[in-house]
Amino acid sequence: MKKLFSILFLTCSCLSLAEHRISWEAVGELPAQKSYEKNIGTAGLLQGMIDDYVVVGGGANFPIKPLTEGGAKVTHKDIYLLKENKKGLEVLEQMQLDTPIGYGASVSTGKEIYYLGGSPEAAHNKDVLKVSVENGKMKVEKVADLMLGFENGVATYQNGKIYYGVGKIENEEGKLKNSNRFFVLDLQTGENKELASFPGEARQQTVGQVLNGKFYVFSGGSSVSYIDGYAYDFEKNVWEKAADVVVDGERILLLGANSIKVSENEMLVIGGFNYYLWNEANDKLSNLKDKELADYKAQYFGKEPFRYEWNRKVLVFNAKENTWRSIGEVPFDAPCGAALLKHGKMMYSINGEIKPGVRTPRIFRGEFR
**pLDDT tens for the chain, residues 1 to 369:** 444 444 443 433 344 544 458 999 999 999 999 999 999 999 999 999 999 999 999 999 999 999 999 999 999 999 999 999 989 999 999 999 999 999 999 999 999 999 999 999 999 999 999 999 999 999 999 999 999 999 999 999 999 999 999 999 999 999 999 999 999 999 999 999 999 999 999 999 999 999 999 999 999 999 999 999 999 999 999 999 999 999 999 999 999 999 999 999 999 999 999 999 999 999 999 999 999 999 999 999 999 999 999 999 999 999 999 999 999 999 999 999 999 999 999 999 999 999 999 999 999 999 998
The Cα 137–Cα 327 span in angstroms is 38
> Which of left, alpha, beta for 91 (phi over 0: left; psi -120 to 50: alpha)?
beta
β-partners of residue 127 are: 145
Instruction: List, in sequence order, every beta strand (DSSP E) within 166-237.
Output: 168-170, 176-178, 182-186, 192-194, 207-211, 214-218, 229-233
Q: Which domains does the chain have, with CATH numbers?
A: 3-368 (2.120.10.80)
Query: DSSP per residue over 302-316, as a string?
Result: TS-GGGG----EEEE
Which pLDDT belongs to residue 9? 38
CA 331 remoteness from chain centre: 19
Helices (H), 190-274: none
Which pLDDT belongs to residue 15? 43
The Cα 328–Cα 314 span in angstroms is 6
Amino acid occupying residue 287:
N
Q: CA 137 → CA 79, 100, 111, 236, distances in Å?
A: 12, 20, 13, 40
How do strand 154-158 and strand 127-134 relate by DSSP bridges?
unpaired
The secondary element (H helix, E strand) that includes residue 298 is helix 290-301
The Cα 314–Cα 337 span in angstroms is 16
DSSP state for residue 222 in the 8-state scheme: S
Length of the chain in terms of residues written:
369
Cα-based angle 55, 207, 228 (whole degrees, multiple of 5): 180
The Cα 361–Cα 42 span in angstroms is 7
Which pLDDT belongs to residue 16? 53
Which pLDDT belongs to residue 1? 40
Amino acid occupying residue 343:
H
Which pLDDT belongs to residue 3? 45
Report, in angstroms and rounded to the nearest whole number, the Rg of the chain calculated over CA atoms: 19
Cα-based angle 23, 29, 30 (whole degrees, multiple of 5): 130
Q: CA 287 → CA 70, 250, 281, 282, 299, distances in Å?
A: 20, 27, 10, 8, 16
Which pLDDT belongs to residue 20? 54
Cβ contact 312:352 at 8 Å = no
Q: How many CA atoms lie within 13 A of 321 on its CB side?
A: 11
β-partners of residue 294 are: none
